[in-house]
Amino acid sequence: MPHIVIHLSGAPDAATDRRIVDAVAGLTQSELGKKLPVIAITLQHIAHDQWYIGGEPLSALGKNAFHLDISVTDETNTKAEKARFIKAIYSAFQDILGELHECSYVHVIDARAAAYGYGGLTQEHRHQHGAA
């Protein structure tokens, strides 16, 4: 765990995408204590003229934006850890993308352990049975 979905404004760029994946994976480890082998990240790119903030496309605003959803098992991170993660993610994206619109969002989704899992097992099952 966790699963991370990132929407990025603009066209795909392999070097930028790699920097984003590395930054997000690193911060997910350092700020939320998650293990790299089970961090899954997907990237989706949206053209600047298809991303609207305040009714205006990013192409007219001259800005970049992102939206990051991260699903973690409920009660595995504190409010302070999640706040640090959100701040660090925004800062990393600002450094990588530049000209970042303030309305770029990070959503930490606290998923119930009995309703969330991977490899065919719920996190609750892993907790109850000591599965790594």
Domain count, the chain: 1
Non-local (6+) Cβ contacts of 37 within 8 A are none
Range of the domain at 99: 3-129
With bands split at pLDDT 50, 70 and 90, how would you rate the model's confidence at 121?
Answer: confident
The phi, psi pair for 86, rounded to 5°, reads -60, -45
Are 45 and 11 a contacting pair, CB within 8 Å? yes
Stretch 6-23: mean pLDDT: 98
* C-alpha to C-alpha distance for 63 and 87, rounded to whole angstroms: 19
Are 50 and 10 a contacting pair, CB within 8 Å? no
Model pLDDT for residues 85-113, shown as the tens digit of each residue: 999 999 999 999 999 999 999 999 999 98
* C-alpha to C-alpha distance for 16 and 25, rounded to whole angstroms: 14
With bands split at pLDDT 50, 70 and 90, how would you rate the model's confidence at 131?
Answer: low
Model pLDDT for residues 30-56, shown as the tens digit of each residue: 999 999 999 999 999 999 999 999 999
- CATH number of domain containing 16: 3.30.429.10
pLDDT at 115 over 70: yes
- Where is average pLDDT lowest: 5-9, 61-65, 86-90, 123-127? 123-127
pLDDT at 132 over 70: no
Model pLDDT for residues 70-81, shown as the tens digit of each residue: 999 998 999 999
